[in-house]
Chains A and B, each alone.
Chain A
């Protein structure tokens, strides 16, 4: 059977390049479009881009840290007589 086009590493690499190009385009578009910032912090260049990235990184780290404390094997509740 012919592998799906998404399964070929060549195409995955292409998709990555496309994605990065779109990312760059959304930031550069700020030069052309007036954003009408309301808060001062919004007028920083590419604010939504790096804020989105940083916020997500922070949430992943927070989840990771919490996971160290709270993760249990998924048979955890089966042990204590949940019927």
Chain B
């Protein structure tokens, strides 16, 4: 048995370093085989803490498996494989290896039994994802990657401080359920939430992801936010204020996506929106809600990758990403249109798609908990998802007014990646049983009841009606919308430039002043060291005799004093 104890995450991370040495068919085979090998190794692992180590007196478990970690590691490996297939024709030789380091470390987080291992893989993810962003090779991607890595290193520092505090408080490194009851745990929670794209720092996500290459964004969409969902599921289930964070993210994502013109930024905002559903589920914290959050993370990775693949295919074919410049592509890209629309239906939780079976569990948990307002908000948000991702994205990109562009469907590798993920979206929606068996708790939920299907159809179709009725209000304009990232893109750099300027002036002023002072001091010393100066001139004898007499007199007076 023990010979199978290969760490699937490390396999992917180390395997990534072999990729740059391969060419042609061997490289393609390795790209596809590596994640599949990781998946195979993962399923050979029994449950429990498999690796143990001692470090500074703490007990570490770098490889430990249970149902929840196996679920996330499985979808991460599948995603790496699908993304690798989609990216096979990518010119950049850096992107896939970087993406595999990124995916492998995400698997590492999922299989980590202690907080130290979580932190190590967490930081490795930041490195891998930044390299994926870099490999796009444009000036915008470079600027965005610097902002991106800054936020993630900040999050890493906060997490590190939290973990250190936790180790000191408890003396135990095991990654177990925590509650926000101490400074250390708050810091850990904040570190996790930054990667989840939670407010107020959610802007890093729509700022960075759309700047990656046509294939890079597909990788980026999958791992960072979903590992954050995973660690929140394990570390902070049932933390009530996460419900409100989640609901904020849900509506933030919708409203910003409605304002957005860039097709990939629309999809990036809808990542925040979908992660909001998961975080709300974690906040509700019942078994049904946690199952729903985990299942939704699983299905979300698949349909979001599919949506970004279709957007990537459009970008690769046309070089354009603004809705106001696209449209009418269904004429010449039928396969991309169909796959993109399947992804759009899945994200909107249409019956017979994967989103329907996973998101329903979260809303059902709100109903079971009698949380009327939460449920109303989640229902409104479900309608809103159809609005911004379900219709807006396919409508403006593939239909609406004809842009006159006639690009053809992408090459075979990209087509097959889209077909495979579109198949998964439908298959998980029609046969949810295999997914349910992977979930951490036993599933006692039937999504396909006549009542549920009907109410969901009403909700979605009438939001579709709202879209078409209010279409003039949704006309695309060549604009962007200010977000919190404005703070670190405009006033903070200006402040830093201003401060730098002031600092330079102060420094120059001080240096000039110090220079004159030193010169004056030197001149003074020199003057006093000249033959007639204070230090070198000879003293007259008369003067000496006078001082000696004064001293003697003083001594005499002191002697006769009582």
Contacts and interface: CB of A to CB of B under 8 A. Distances in A.
Contacts of A72: 479-482
B511 interface: no
A77 B489 contact: yes
Nearest to B479: A71
Interface string A59-83: 1101110110011111011001111
Nearest to A73: B479
Interface residues of A, number: 46
Contacts of B454: 26, 29-30, 33, 35
Contact of A70 (B143, B457, B463, B481): B481
A13 interface: no
Given A52-B458, A67-B259, A71-B477, A82 B140 contact: yes
Contacts of A64: 473
B460 A63 contact: no
Contacts of B466: 52-53, 56-57, 60
Nearest to B490: A80
A51 to B, nearest CB: 7
Interface string A1-37: 0001011000000000001001100110110011110
B381 to A, nearest CB: 8
A44 interface: no
Contact of B459 (A34, A51, A71, A73): A51
Given A36-B451, A80-B490, A59 B143 contact: no
B294 to A, nearest CB: 23
A48 B458 contact: yes
A18 B139 CA distance: 48
Contacts of B380: 51-52, 55, 58-59
A60 B402 CA distance: 24
Contact of B259 (A29, A36, A55, A63): A63
B341 to A, nearest CB: 13
Given A56-B466, A80-B490, A35 B259 contact: no
B387 A56 contact: yes
B203 to A, nearest CB: 12
B508 to A, nearest CB: 23
A33 B450 contact: yes
Contacts of A6: 330, 399
Interface in B478-517: 478-483, 489-490, 493-494
B480 A76 contact: yes
Contacts of B256: 63
Given A33-B454, A52-B462, A74 B480 contact: yes
Interface centre among A50, A56, A77, A81 (most CB of B within 10 A): A56
B251 interface: yes
B372 interface: yes
Is the contact region of chain A dominated by helix, strand, or loop, or is it mixed?
A: helix
A48 B455 contact: yes
A49 B387 contact: no
Contacts of B481: 66-67, 70-72
Contact of A39 (B142, B372, B464, B490): B372
Contacts of A34: 451
B270 to A, nearest CB: 13
Contacts of A62: 255
Contacts of A41: 372, 376
B489 A49 contact: no
B474 interface: yes
Contacts of A70: 259, 481-483
B175 interface: no
A23 B372 CA distance: 26
B463 A52 contact: yes
B261 interface: yes
A83 B470 contact: no
A60 B473 contact: yes
A49 B258 contact: no
Interface string B129-161: 000000000011011000000000000000000
A19 B489 CA distance: 45
A49 B458 contact: yes
A66 B483 CA distance: 11
Given A52-B466, A59-B384, A74-B261, A26 B461 contact: yes
Nearest to A16: B468
B461 A71 contact: no
Nearest to B143: A82
A76 to B, nearest CB: 6
A19 B139 CA distance: 45
B553 interface: no
B458 A27 contact: yes
A56 B474 CA distance: 12
Nearest to A7: B402
Question: Among A19, A26, A73, which residue has the most Cβ atoms of chain B within 10 A?
Answer: A26
A6 B328 CA distance: 10
Contacts of A46: 458
A74 B476 CA distance: 12
A31 B375 CA distance: 24
A56 to B, nearest CB: 4
A29 to B, nearest CB: 6
Contacts of B536: none
21 contacts: A7-B402, A26-B457, A29-B454, A35-B454, A39-B375, A41-B376, A51-B376, A52-B460, A53-B462, A53-B466, A55-B379, A59-B380, A67-B479, A70-B259, A70-B483, A74-B322, A74-B480, A76-B480, A80-B489, A82-B143, A82-B489
Interface of A: 4, 6-7, 19, 22-23, 26-27, 29-30, 33-36, 38-39, 41, 46, 48-53, 55-60, 62-64, 66-67, 70-74, 76-77, 80-83
In the A-B complex, the 7 residue pairs with the closest CB atoms: A56-B466, A55-B380, A48-B458, A63-B258, A52-B459, A52-B383, A52-B462
